[in-house]
Amino acid sequence: MSRLSPEFILKHKGEPVTDLNFWKTDQAFDENDCLLSAYHKSGGVDLWDLKTRRVMINIPAIDQTSVISVCGINNKKIISLDKEGHLRVTAFDNGGTTDITNLVVPNVAFCKAAILPQTNCFDDPVVGVPGQEKSSFNIWNLNHSKIMRRLIPHEECNLGMPMCAKLFHLNGIQALVGYEDGSVLLWDVEDGKAISAAKHIFPEPVMCLDFCTEDLCGIAGSATTLVVKWKVPSVSELKNDSDETVNLKTLQHLHGFEIMKNVELLNAGVSCVKVRSDRKIFVTGGWDHKTRVFSWKTTKPLAVLDYHKGTIQSAAFADSSDPKKQVLACGSNDCKISIWRIYND
């Protein structure tokens, strides 16, 4: 297994980095030239120009509250969520920012907001965050500041809090949610039903997950040494087979999930997992301060990115059609962001 070095390091606020996302703001920038970073405590959100390696603009935190997650949408809008439940849409234009939506969504705990990928810049921004009801997960239309759908598990499931989630398009809108009890549910948002479930695939909370719509495969990590890759049937099959919300109390283990691989890591604790858009590799960020690189197809370990001195809180790939422009950013509790170019051939 090879060891690599970062191309360069970013550091601005001197605070732990909680989330990262690449963002294309306008035609003047390439796909991997802009990086959004969120911070603990009073750091707010930075928009980095990776060509100059400087912060273009900072969006201050509200009441010095830690920003849990950040993502750029609609060309010039930024969505952020903080620990106090401030769900904000901030417009970026002419070097300045303006809050155009600011909602309060209580009980977010540690769960980052799940942003639905937009098919065009006119789509309404759709975001998933934990709800007030036990184990519930709400899907918001931010243009209308209203809840589109409440995803509420069967009352006897006892899933605990939503810990992580991903939204995507497959025959409608789907939500993949990982829960405190170690289970993962796949929801059809239109019907508000759980159409697939994996019960207790981890003995600890699901800390992170990602999903590839092209091959219908997902990956998830937890507080244990285990990383699990799975596959689901087509969503149309699952929807046709599901007449009611999945009841995990009567489910033995899997409903519509096929476990493909179980990967055992050397050290426990996975904070983030991300699959590159070309589906050649995926990475995990660990409590052991390391980012590990794996083959997506075989889950074979390829490299260990050993630079940081704190937990890897977030990893993000620049979504580029040119393999040579693929960039990986890793954010850590050590207040640094490392930028890597790996396996780009």
Query: In angstroms, rounded to a whole number, what is the distance separating the alpha carbons of residues 315 and 283?
Result: 8
pLDDT of residue 96: 83
**Is 80 exceeded by the pLDDT of residue 122?**
no
* Look-up of token digits 């405190």: 180
The radius of gyration of the chain from alpha carbons, rounded to an integer in Å, stands at 19
Q: What DSSP assignment string belongs to 97-150?
A: EEEEEEEE----TTPPPEEPPPSSTTSPPEEEEE-SSTT-EEEEETTTTEEEEE
Query: So what's the pLDDT on residue 300?
Result: 97
Alpha carbon separation from 135 to 6, 77, 126, 248 (Å, rounded)? 39, 29, 20, 13
Least confident of 133-137, 231-235, 327-331: 231-235
pLDDT of residue 33: 79
Q: Is the pLDDT of residue 237 over 60?
A: yes
Letter for the amino acid at 101? T
Among 169, 207, 209, 159, residue whose Cα is nearest residue 189: 169
**Residues in CB range of 122: below 8 A, 6 or more apart:** none
pLDDT above 90: residue 198: yes
pLDDT at res. 234: 81
Predicted local confidence at residue 311, as pLDDT: 98
**49-53, 106-110, 152-156, 317-321 — most confident range:** 49-53
Give 273's contacts (C-beta < 8 A, 6+ positions apart). Answer: 208, 209, 210, 219, 220, 221, 227, 282, 283, 284, 285, 315
Q: Sign of the C-alpha dihedral, residues 299, 251, 170, 223?
A: negative
Q: What percentage of the chain carries pLDDT values higher than 90?
A: 73
DSSP annotation string for 162-184 = EEEEEEEESSSEEEEEEETTS-E
Per-residue model confidence as pLDDT tens digits over 141-151: 999 999 999 99
pLDDT above 80 for 306: yes
CB 181 within 8 A of CB 200: yes
Question: What is the spatial distance between Cα 197 and Cα 342, in angstroms, rounded to a whole number?
Answer: 34
Task: At 205, list the tokens.
Answer: 């909370």
Q: Which sign does the torsion angle of CA 280, 327, 77, 61 carry? A: positive
State yes or no: pLDDT of 128 exceeds 90.
yes
Q: Enter the tokens of residue 229.
A: 């890759």
Res 27: pLDDT: 46
9-27, pLDDT tens digit by residue? 999 888 999 999 998 765 4
Question: Does an H or E element contain 201, and which?
Answer: none
What is the pLDDT averaged over residues 220-225?
96
Which residues make Cβ contacts (< 8 Å) with residue 58, sequence separation at least 6?
12, 44, 45, 46, 47
Whether the per-residue pLDDT at 123 is higher than 70: the answer is yes
β pairing state of 254-255 and 258-264: unpaired
Cα 306–341–95 angle (5° rounding)? Answer: 105
- Give pLDDT, residue 74: 76
On the question of pLDDT at 31 being above 80, the answer is no
Check pLDDT > 60 for residue 277.
Answer: yes
pLDDT score for 242: 58
Residue 273 has pLDDT above 60, yes or no: yes
Report, as an integer, the average pLDDT of 284-313: 97
- Check whether 330 has a pLDDT greater than 70: yes
